[in-house]
Amino acid sequence: MKKIKFLAIAALFSAIIIGFASCNSCSKKSDNTETVQMAKEEVETKVREFVYPLPTSYEIVEMLNEIEASYIFDLANNPANADKYVTEKSMALNLGVFGADLSYASTYNQKQETINFIDASKKMLEGLDLEAAVREDLLEQIEANEDNKDALVQLITNSFYDTYDFLNRNNRAPISALVMAGAWVEGLYIATHISEETFNSKEMVTIILKQKDPLQKLMDIMDNYKSNPNVAETIQDLSTMANIYDGIEETAITLEQMRKIAEESLKIRKKIVASK
């Protein structure tokens, strides 16, 4: 199915290019160039959505950074915990968690923390036999670009896409679902616990409200692999959170609902990082 979808997208892109090329005599070259570029960007967006179907953790923490929420060192999962994760489920979920923490640290230009979370993530990748999922020189590239935030973010974001793509191409989709779940939970946990003023900030409330659609998409994805016991357990762990979000309107959220989301994110996240 994935191959069919990819070929369909490629065919669509080819058709767009050919179609616009045949119309050169009908309009100005500059207009065609602009239209083709717009069409190309639209197709590239569809391809990216197919490869990694949720907003990355970076997108969440970047919103926090933009509203000048402070970086809290002990909010993220301790990288030293990486040594205690030995089961496939705990390593997959915490690969997602460390990935979110990596985005958090790099977005706030926390150089040593960024390196620490890279190391923790590598341990999870090795434990899951996924070393081939990311470029061999990722750590070196990150160290070389530690003062270039844009390049750093691009490297880390691409690693999300590379890992997801590798897992699905190698028939390990249930693992990719768990990684996404861990990353989503950690992103929400950071958003709901980064400040005591969270509930009083319109921007923070908006960030938390925007997690409704990604959660629904995550639940739909995991439902495809519910025959896998690890995925089935994670679906159950997220079911209460899904019910809370189901009761929220698209553009409004109550203080009580905010508190429930914060409490539930803490509960789920605590279970994930405490697992072995």
**Residues of the chain with confidence (pLDDT) below 50:** 1-50
Structure tokens given for 53: 């179907």
Same domain, yes or no, for 154 and 252? yes
Q: Which two tokens stand for residue 114?
A: 């960024």
CB contact set of 205 (below 8 Å; sequence gap of 6+)? 198, 199, 253, 258
Please report the pLDDT score of residue 203 as a whole number.
Answer: 82
Quickly tell me which residue has 């509203």 as its tokens: 67
Instruction: For CA atoms 263, 265, 268, 269, give the dihedral sign.
Output: negative
Q: What is the pLDDT of residue 198?
A: 66
Residues 37 and 167 in one domain: no
Do 101 and 202 reside in the same domain of the chain? yes
Asked whether residue 59 falls in the same domain as residue 189, the answer is yes
Do 232 and 174 form a contact (C-beta atoms < 8 A)?
no
* CA atoms lying within 13 Å on the CB side of residue 200: 3
Same domain, 63 and 31: no
CB atoms under 10 Å from CB of 84, counted, come to: 12
The domain in which residue 64 lies consists of 54-274
Q: What is the sign of the dihedral through the CA atoms of 207, 212, 218 and 222?
A: positive
Supply the pLDDT for residue 135. Answer: 72
pLDDT at 46: 34
Question: Which residues are CB-neighbours of 36 under 8 A, at least 6 positions away?
Answer: 16, 17, 20
Nearest to 161 by CA among 55, 7, 6, 62: 55
Report the 10 Å Cβ neighbour count for 105.
25
Number of structural domains found in the chain: 2
Co-location of 8 and 84 in the same domain = no
For residues 29 and 67, membership in a common domain is answered with no
- Start-to-end CA distance of the chain, whole Å, equals 34
Same domain, 30 and 72: no
Q: Rounded to an integer, what distance in angstroms lies between the CA atom of residue 237 and that of residue 223?
A: 13
Residues 35 and 58 in one domain: no
Same domain, 191 and 220: yes
What is the value of pTM for the model shown? Answer: 0.78
Q: Are residues 233 and 137 in the same domain?
A: yes
Residues 195 and 87 in one domain: yes
Query: What are the φ and ψ backbone dihedral angles of 48, each rounded to 5 degrees?
Result: -65, -40
pLDDT digits (tens, 9 = 90+) for 58-75: 677 777 778 778 888 899
3-state secondary structure string across 65-115: HHCCCCCCCCCCCCHHHHHHCCCHHHHHHHHHHHHHHHHHHHHCCCHHHHH
For 14, counting Cβ atoms within 10 Å of its Cβ (0-12 exposed, 13-18 middle, 19+ buried), the class is exposed
